């Protein structure tokens, strides 16, 4: 059992928790992930490590409440326990040798991008961050990004906060004005990462994307997280989750990501109905 040390709502659909898991905290690195179960009969869900405190023995997770499993997790409070917390899994984000980097996060993907930005900033790299959200209500982690960015641009689709538009707008403006980065690292919705790559490809700027397809066992055995990268089959849980964005088949990944959309909706509706009955 793993204790929830702290819980905080970042916006109406995104929650942050610090989990006491000293063995995981001891080895965790930016870019890696864990697999947890909220309860003994719960679903296994992968969540990228959003931070860690080696001295305190805690690991930070940030998750969006989108289905039955995350709804069950979100019902738990600080002081309660979750059943399983396995990790760290996957490969850490490579940051050695990078001197000037653009970090691009979209929505809850900003939770994954933040520890990467923090690590690079701590290593002395020049960090330009661009974070995007649908609207002001969904904004998360702005202060945290300010603290580890030499330049921060906030975008909202509707213009309710920061600049109006998508994250590729300031990226393209920077590249057109002559900015050059050792690497662009982008984390967020598949369609967002696809278009970031289309922009950086024009300027031959190395681009890393963090892929989060369906995962079950986290060891590469189930094959659920397979991707086509450079014409070859790769597994996000053991070969990634970071990949060369120029080589990822985004159209295939987007198609596969929607395969279980109807099932996920039914499960969410089922959980909502069960919770309503419990409350009543």
Q: Is the pLDDT of residue 95 over 60?
A: yes
**Backbone phi, then psi, for 187, in 5-degree steps?**
-140, 125
Percent of the chain past pLDDT 70, that is, above it, reads 92
H-type alpha helices, the chain: 22-27, 68-74, 110-122, 142-147, 168-176, 190-202, 236-239, 250-257, 261-279
Q: Is the pLDDT of residue 30 over 60?
A: yes
Which has more confidence, 103 or 41? 103
Q: At what angle do helices 250-257 and 190-202 cross, to 10 degrees?
A: 170
Tokens of 210: 């963090």
**93-210 CATH pick, 3.40.50.300, 3.40.250.10, 3.40.50.80, 3.40.50.2300:** 3.40.50.80
pLDDT of residue 213: 76
Q: Is the pLDDT of residue 83 over 70?
A: yes
Task: Report, as an integer, the average pLDDT of 103-130.
Answer: 96
pLDDT of residue 42: 84
pLDDT of residue 69: 86
Other Cβ atoms closer than 10 A to 261: 9
* pTM for the whole structure: 0.87
Give the model confidence (pLDDT) of 209-235 as tens digits.
999 877 777 777 888 788 999 999 999
Q: Are 58 and 18 within 8 A, CB to CB?
A: yes
Tell me whether the CATH fold assigned to 2-89 matches the one assigned to 93-210: no
Q: Per-domain residue ranges for the chain?
A: 2-89, 93-210
Q: Is the pLDDT of residue 277 over 60?
A: no
CATH code, 2-89:
2.40.30.10
pLDDT of residue 263: 60
DSSP state of 18: E
Give the model confidence (pLDDT) of 3-29 as tens digits.
999 999 999 899 999 999 999 999 999
Burial class (CB in 10 A: 0-12, 13-18, 19+), 184: buried
Neighbouring residues of 79: CB distance < 8 A, sequence distance ≥ 6: 3, 4
Q: Are 108 and 65 within 8 A, CB to CB?
A: no
Other Cβ atoms closer than 10 A to 202: 11
CA distance 17 to 25: 14
pLDDT of residue 260: 62
Q: What is the mean pLDDT of the chain?
A: 91
Output b/e per residue, 204-229; b: 16+ Cβ within 10 A.
ebebbbbbbbebbbbebeeebbbbbb
CA distance 279 to 59: 31
């Amino acid at each position: 059992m793993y204790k929830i040390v702290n819980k905080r709502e970042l916006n109406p659909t995104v929650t942050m928790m610090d989990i006491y898991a000293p063995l995981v905290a001891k080895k965790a690195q930016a870019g890696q992930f864990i697999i947890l179960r909220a309860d003994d009969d719960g679903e296994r869900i992968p969540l990228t490590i959003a931070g860690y405190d080696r001295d305190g023995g805690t690991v930070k997770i940030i998750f969006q409440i989108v289905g039955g499993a995350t709804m069950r997790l979100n019902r738990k409070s600080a002081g309660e326990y979750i059943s399983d917390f396995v990790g760290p899994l996957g490969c850490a984000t490579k940051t050695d040798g990078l001197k000037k980097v653009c970090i691009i996060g979209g929505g809850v993907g900003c939770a994954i991008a933040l520890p990467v930005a923090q690590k690079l900033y701590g290593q002395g790299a020049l960090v330009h961050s661009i974070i995007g959200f649908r609207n002001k209500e969904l904004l998360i982690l702005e202060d945290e990004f300010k603290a580890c960015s030499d330049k921060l641009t906030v975008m909202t689709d509707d213009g309710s906060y920061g600049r109006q538009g998508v994250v590729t707008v300031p990226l393209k403006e920077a590249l057109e004005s002559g900015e050059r980065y050792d690497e662009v690292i982008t984390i967020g919705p598949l369609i967002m990462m696809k278009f970031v790559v289309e922009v950086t490809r024009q300027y031959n700027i190395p681009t890393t994307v963090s892929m989060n397809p369906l995962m079950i066992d986290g060891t590469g055995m189930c094959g659920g997280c397979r991707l086509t990268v450079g014409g070859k089959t790769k597994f996000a849980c053991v070969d990634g989750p970071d990949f060369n964005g120029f080589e990822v088949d985004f159209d295939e990944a987007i198609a596969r990501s929607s395969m279980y959309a109807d099932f996920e909706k039914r499960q969410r509706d089922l959980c909502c109905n069960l919770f309503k009955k419990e409350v009543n």
